Amino acid sequence: MAVAAIGIDIGGTRLRAARVRGGIIEARAVADSSPDPRVVVARLKALVAEVAAQDVTTLGIGVPGMVDAATREVFSGGYVNLSGFPFAAEMEAATGLPVAIETDGSMALLGEAAHGAARGCANVVMMTIGTGIGGAILENGRLLRGRRSAGQLGHMVVSPGGRPCICGRIGCVEATSSGTAFAIHLAEAGLNAATRAEDLLARSDPAAQAVIEAWAGPLMVAVETLISTFHPDMVLIGGGAGAAAAAALQRRVLRPSWFSAPIVAASLGDDAGVIGGATAALKAVGSPKRAVLVNGVPASGKSGVARALSDQTGWPVLTLDTIKNPFLLALPPGDRLFNRTLGRASYAAIFDLIADAPPGSTFIIDAWFGFQPLEALEQGLARAGVAEAAELWCHAPAGVVGARYTARLGQRPAGHPGAAYVSELIELARHAQPTGLAPRMDIETTGPVDAKALTRWLRTLWP
């Protein structure tokens, strides 16, 4: 089981906290926000206590405004004005947990990149459309920071001579295309203040279309500029008004250009910030241990896949047979029950070896994980401290698996199942399934192994 962390998202209306494990929210709590930093700290302390668990050891918080992630200094204000306030230190004192902080936009992007719509993408630009407009940029899997806090995308000037912005400039995209700006467009058009962007998108009358154009037009200018500047895999639109903004942008006809990227709605909704907070927290306390689960029935080709991946990456391979065979050679031959007992002990030894490895280690585990309950795998990964896993599901036609096993019968120490096992193995190969516990790539092993493709896929998961 993956390690859990707590993610927190500070908004102008709500304070959200969640215990997150492997991108899944296990517990959540909400409280009202406040402009007073000390009130915020007290309320967040209570939220952390509400969602905490024994194995939670770290906390990640997305804050509004600009943040120097290296010094953990907040140096711009907002409704919750943390500028000049020692927020990270106060939260550590209140909770007893190490704290990582980023802008709320950065946390949302980290959440979407790890577990949402941008999963597998190394170069992403995200705009969050809410009361204001936030954003963040992922370049080769890392947040773009500039000198202190790059990615303040709401303050791109898209309308020179346009509306004043709270930052002091004129014509920022936040002043034309935020949720606050949408309310101003409604008022100027004489429309009901309760009208939603989704309502206007469903209408075709000139008043509705004029508001959508005034709101989404400048946003498209910003998006097109970002695409030509960063050439990302995608532009992700999130935040409270993100779904409506993405829908409005996707209706627009893009001019032919040298530059293009898909415009995609974020998928995690309001949970992006807390999931991203937990993701950032785990990375901040040290590089996570990782495991590549090279899974498949005996003779499915997984050992060849594991060796090829190890040759490409340098990651060590741990296999059941490597641990088990010396005992089979040293001890008198046993029956199948004895072989299974050694297999279970070898399985436990693999996770004990990983547990003793330093943070940041990556291992390739070559095993048929289906010979034990999934709970044993989850417990082993948790005991080993593996925070991130990926599965390579190796398979071949059942007849091929049987033939491979038969061909190597004379090469294995006594104690391994013999020829009588082949018919059982063929039936197993027809029905075996992957674990489903981690992101998976399926590999048909009758052809050559493309280790470079495997490595590229893993790098998208683990930038």
Domain boundary among 216, 251, 284: 284
Residue 225 sits in a domain whose CATH number is: 3.30.420.40
Q: Which residue carries 């919750």 as its tokens?
A: 80
Domain of residue 54, residue span: 4-104+278-284
CB-based burial of residue 270 (10 Å sphere; 0-12 exposed, 13-18 middle, 19+ buried)?
middle
Q: How confident is the model at residue 287 (pLDDT cuts 50, 70, 90)?
A: low
Q: How confident is the model at residue 2 (pLDDT cuts 50, 70, 90)?
A: low
Tell me, yes or no, whether 86 and 123 share the same domain: no
Rounded Cα gap, residues 399 and 198, in angstroms:
56
pLDDT, tens only, 130-157: 888 989 999 878 888 887 778 889 999 9
Tell me, yes or no, whether 369 and 429 share the same domain: yes
- Residue 99: the pLDDT is 93
Tell me, yes or no, whether 56 and 137 share the same domain: no
Tell me if 152 sits within 8 A of 137, measured CB to CB.
no
Average pLDDT over residues 253-266: 87
Tell me, yes or no, whether 346 and 443 share the same domain: yes
pLDDT at 101 over 60: yes
Tell me, yes or no, whether 132 and 260 share the same domain: yes
Residue 383 sits in a domain whose CATH number is: 3.40.50.300
Average pLDDT over residues 34-57: 93
- In the chain, the number of structural domains is 3
| Within a domain: 228 | yes
| Within a domain: 272 | no
- Choice among 50-54, 77-81, 203-207 with the minimum mean pLDDT: 77-81
Residue 6 tokens read as 């707590």
CA distances from 44 to 17, 31, 105, 121 (A): 8, 8, 19, 32
Tell me if 309 sits within 8 A of 390, measured CB to CB.
no
Average pLDDT over residues 279-294: 84
Tell me, yes or no, whether 232 and 298 share the same domain: no
pLDDT at 255 over 80: no
- Residue 282: the pLDDT is 84
Average pLDDT over residues 295-317: 94
pLDDT, tens only, 388-410: 899 999 999 999 999 999 999 88
pLDDT at 1 over 60: no
Which residues in 392-404 are b (16+ Cβ under 10 Å) and which e? bbbbbebebbbeb
Tell me, yes or no, whether 308 and 336 share the same domain: yes
Average pLDDT, the chain: 90
Average pLDDT over residues 186-205: 92
pLDDT-above-90 percentage for the chain: 64
pLDDT at 310 over 70: yes
pLDDT, tens only, 424-452: 999 999 999 999 989 999 999 999 999 98
| Within a domain: 273 | no
- Residue 286: the pLDDT is 63
Residue 22 tokens read as 């492997």
Q: Which of 39-53, 109-123, 313-327, 353-367 has the highest mean pLDDT?
A: 39-53
